[in-house]
Amino acid sequence: MDIDIFNNRLSPKYKILDPNEADKILLRFKCSRSNLPKIKTTDPAVIALKANEGDILEITRASKSAGEAIYYRVVIR
Amino acid sequence: MRLDSNFVFNKIYGIEFGVLSPRMIEKMSSVAITSSELYDIDGFPVDGGLADMRLGITDPGLVCRTCGNTIKDCPGHFGHLELARPVFNIKMIPKIYDLLNATCDACGRILIPEAVLKKATITMDAIEAREGDLGKKRYVRKLIKHAKSINTCPFCHSKQHKVKLEKPYTFMYNGQKLNASDVRERLERISDADLQFLGMSQEYSRPEWMIFTVLPIPPVTIRPPITLESGQKSEDDLTHKLTDIVRTNQRLAENIKSGAPEVIIEELWDLLQYHITTFISNGTAQVPIARHKSGKKLKTLEDRIKGKEGRFRGSTLGKRANYSARSTISPDSMIRLDEVGVPMQIAKEVTYPERVTEMNIDRLKSLIKNLDGYPNASYIVTPDGIRRKITESTVQNILDELKPGYIVERSMLNGDIILFNRQPSLHRLSIMGHSVRVLDGKTFRINPASTLPYGADFDGDEMNIHVLQTEEALAEAALIMNIKNNIVSPRHGLPVIGAAQDYISGSAILTRKETKIDKSTAEDFLTFVGIDAKLSKSTYTGREIFSMLLPKDLNFESESSVYKFSNDEDSYVVIKNGKLERGIIDSATIGKENGSLLQYLFVQYGGETTAKFIDQLSRLALITLLKFGISANIANFDLPEKTMSEIYSIFEEANEEVNKMLKDYNKDVEQNILSLTNKVRGKIRNATRAGINKKANEIDDMMITGAKGSIMNFFPTAGMIGQQLLRDTRMSNGYDGRLTAHFKKNDMGLIPRGFVVSNYRDGLNPIEFFLHAGSSREGLMDNVIRTPVSGYMNRRLSSALQDLKVADDLSVREGNKIIQFMYGEDGLDVSLSDKGELNI
């Protein structure tokens, strides 16, 4: 049975950044991919998105203090 | 350390731990130890003795015979001792035990068939790649466990017998003792190819190396003799143990050479094993502890590394600081909030290095001239880094020589910024910057308004100060860490510094509507507070006096604690243009972890103004209390006849209901009774609250202003104590079916299960008292058990988070690793927010 894991109120919004956007993020935070939080290729969300190693995901989560909070994660093996 | 361009900077790839081979020990040795003597008759180190000058140098002026350096640069050098017979390394016994049982008695191969081993090689590589060294270690442990369970060697098909370990270090095989030589022989038979499955390596840790044939002798630099006042040398514990080892080894060698009976050799061999064991670990189970003649335990190698005072927890993680002092603290309301009273003795001893400039040279010269007085200076440092002590004989030269660029180490002065700390340092407010106020006496004085962030009280608490040694540190302490700038906590956005108890009572009395102060008293007040104001009126209200502390443009509105209780419009705080128009200033406006007014002042006017306000307010509250006074008495706990009978009828009703429940259902009503007793408590509380005599009741005043106490303390004192609980249930254990012998068996009524009808004021009867004590004890025990548990949890959390910081783009990072992209997700500084929220 296929379940859409994003169709759940607890599941945050994911987006794969294109290389251009990804570079912008790295520049904005003055860091390299290795300094970002990581997410495994085996993570259900990564599988569902068909993201590849090295991709940067933009994750928009609900936040108690700010309403919405944006996090970035780099996909690792 | 000197920065040398020749240094090579490299990343450490890994560290390999291993066992030293006898060859290695000999290779790294600079001396073969041959004599148990330390010094000859003239007091010179004996060649080949344990103080041999090739092992390093401990005396200033002497030169090391190995490296040619003096005491400062000689790192010390290992020696070695050729053992007459092999000896176990006590720390390796469990591993040796594993190996003996995991390998064949006859051929020395691992007791796992070739085919399985082949597969194991592949699995092990896979696990290592996947889980790293830890996974490999786990797998090896599994292999060894498997090998130990096999009874026939898959290679030579010989039957296996178990080797038994008789603690601490005797191996038995087939009822016979295996001595260290036998064991070593067997370990030698293990083939290099099998080692990887046993968690060892031919290169770094051959199994037989776990048994000493050569003992490395540590350099004298790690066991230096100390010269006593009498001029006599006293040797280090390690050296004592080493002489025992060398002496025993010598006797053993002689006896073997002269062909002494086996028994004697065995005995000496055992003794050597004992000495080497205690040399490594003086405290192994079942090994007698080696002691000094005085009976003191010898501190040997393991003691230096292990435990709280060991190298890791004691030296690497726990360091001692220079330029610091420690003393008992005591309260002083008359010093400023941001001050700390420092005893003269400490101010004289702990110094600050002040750099000489054109501007301060005259002042510093006068300090230098002061020699033993206060303030004085104790050392100067010349621009080329030479430190010179200021004494009667050097003072003139130093005065002539002193010019800008020099550094003068002068005593602490009033106004110096220092760090003030109380352990345990649980959060960043545990260390704050204070300014020095040199006082008589021997304790540190602190303003009682600032006790909360430190968690300090004055029942014997001690605190530390640190005198800052650089301008950068000084700037940080004066600005960022200063207590004035930390009045509002970054945790919840409320002031952690503020009034408590008497100060709240005082300001509440002052700001009551009816408080009137005549001119001369008002003058006294303002003088005490330190406000210079012209008084024109003949009488002032307390609110007018209070308004003199406020900034002239302050506009503020807030509920007061009294307002929350009474809904009295007059107690609602309204400040317009720096005038307190109405309202009572109490814990809701100026209290610790409460004070909305303090929080507002801090955010709007900054730390300086807030600190000044707290200072002046404390004094004003004090002198108000001095003038008007507040004293509670037993009559404050009087409740009207009507209330008392109401409380009793609450109990009677509940009692009847319980009896009815028990009669009707008998069993399974415990839960209902329990929730009934909770309701009863609530009813008693409310009845008590309604019945409190509001007029001229100082206890009530203290309660509603938030100075001290609450209805939870009042109702059991004046009304009824109620149900005593143990583990959240009614009390039930004790005698068979009853609490004490005073009750009927299996009576589950209210009183037989720990309901206390008395109150504290009238006193409890003996049975009630006993049951009440039971409940209190539970609270005490919980507290005792919880404290270390939460302490450890806090320690784990702090260790995990200690390196996090907020970067200039408001991201939270550990090093350059991003943990959170925006601090708190909203990027707000909680201490500058409105209780954690944004208020525009």
H-state helical runs in B165-299: 180-189, 192-195, 237-257, 262-280
| Closest among A7, A23, A13 to A70, alpha carbons compared | A13
pLDDT tier for residue B1 given thresholds of 50, 70 and 90:
very low
Is there a contact between B825 and A37 if contact means CB atoms under 8 Å apart?
A: no
pLDDT tier for residue B386 given thresholds of 50, 70 and 90:
confident
- What is the Cβ-side half-sphere exposure of residue B32, based on CA atoms within 13 angstroms? 7
Is there a contact between A69 and B811 if contact means CB atoms under 8 Å apart?
A: no
The ipTM, to two decimals, is 0.94
Q: Provide the pLDDT for residue B232.
A: 82
d(CA B777, CA B780): 5
Hey, which residues does B329 pair with through a beta bridge?
A: B444
**Range in B131-135, B527-531, B687-691 the model is least confident about:** B131-135
- The shortest CB-CB distance from B826 to any of A29, A31, A66 is to A66
Fill in the amino acid letter for B336. R
The per-residue DSSP string of A10-62 comes to TSPEEEEPPHHHHHHHHHHTT--GGGS-EEETTSHHHHHHT--TT-EEEEEEE
Round the average pLDDT of chain A to a whole number and report it: 92
Mean pLDDT of B746-752: 90
Q: Provide the pLDDT for residue B4.
A: 56
Long-range contacts, stretch B172-180, CB < 8 angstroms, 24+ apart: B173/B105, B178/B100, B179/B269, B180/B85, B180/B86, B180/B87, B180/B88, B180/B211, B180/B269, B180/B273
Instruction: Give the model confidence (pLDDT) of B631-651 as tens digits.
Output: 999 999 999 999 999 999 999
B479: left (phi over 0), alpha (psi -120 to 50) or beta: alpha
Q: Which residues of A touch B11 (CB under 8 A)?
A: none
Q: Looking at the complex, report in whole angstroms how far the Cα of residue A1 sits from the nearest Cα belonging to chain B.
A: 30
Residue A1: pLDDT over 80: no
Are B260 and B280 in contact, with CB atoms under 8 Å apart?
A: no
Q: Does B821 touch chain A (CB under 8 A)?
A: yes
CATH class of A13-76: alpha beta
Maximum Cα interatomic distance, chain B, rounded to a whole number of Å = 115
Q: Looking at the complex, report in whole angstroms how far the Cα of residue A50 sits from the nearest Cα belonging to chain B.
A: 23
Per-domain boundaries in chain A: 13-76
Is there a contact between B817 and A30 if contact means CB atoms under 8 Å apart?
A: no
Q: Which residue of A has its CA nearest to B807?
A: A29
Instruction: Give the model confidence (pLDDT) of B616-632 as tens digits.
Output: 999 999 999 999 999 99
Q: Does B129 touch chain A (CB under 8 A)?
A: no
Is there a contact between A69 and B819 if contact means CB atoms under 8 Å apart?
A: no
pLDDT tier for residue B6 given thresholds of 50, 70 and 90:
low
Are B750 and B758 in contact, with CB atoms under 8 Å apart?
A: no
Is there a contact between A37 and B824 if contact means CB atoms under 8 Å apart?
A: no
Residue B2: pLDDT over 60: no
Instruction: Give the model confidence (pLDDT) of B260-306 as tens digits.
Output: 999 999 999 999 999 999 999 998 889 999 999 898 999 999 999 99
Instruction: Give the model confidence (pLDDT) of B57-95 as tens digits.
Output: 988 888 999 999 988 889 999 999 999 999 999 999 999
Q: Does A30 touch chain B (CB under 8 A)?
A: yes
Percent of chain B with pLDDT over 70: 99
| CB atoms closer than 10 angstroms to residue B460 | 8
Instruction: Give the model confidence (pLDDT) of B174-214 as tens digits.
Output: 889 999 999 999 999 999 999 999 999 999 999 999 999 99
User: Residue B167 gets which letter from DSSP?
Assistant: T
Whole-Å CA distances, B523 to B216, B335, B580, B758 = 82, 21, 19, 50
Whole-Å CA distances, B785 to B308, B780, B798 = 21, 9, 21
Q: Which domains does chain B have, with CATH numbers?
A: 22-78+218-226 (no CATH), 90-210 (no CATH), 236-319 (no CATH), 324-486 (2.40.40.20), 502-628 (1.10.274.100), 634-781 (1.10.132.30)
Q: Looking at the complex, report in whole angstroms how far the Cα of residue B797 sits from the nearest Cα belonging to chain A.
A: 19
Is there a contact between A66 and B811 if contact means CB atoms under 8 Å apart?
A: no
d(CA B661, CA B648): 20
Q: Provide the pLDDT for residue B3.
A: 53
Q: Provide the pLDDT for residue B371.
A: 87
Are B96 and B88 in contact, with CB atoms under 8 Å apart?
A: yes
Q: Does B817 touch chain A (CB under 8 A)?
A: yes
Q: Provide the pLDDT for residue B7.
A: 67
Residue B720: pLDDT over 70: yes
Mean pLDDT of B493-521: 93
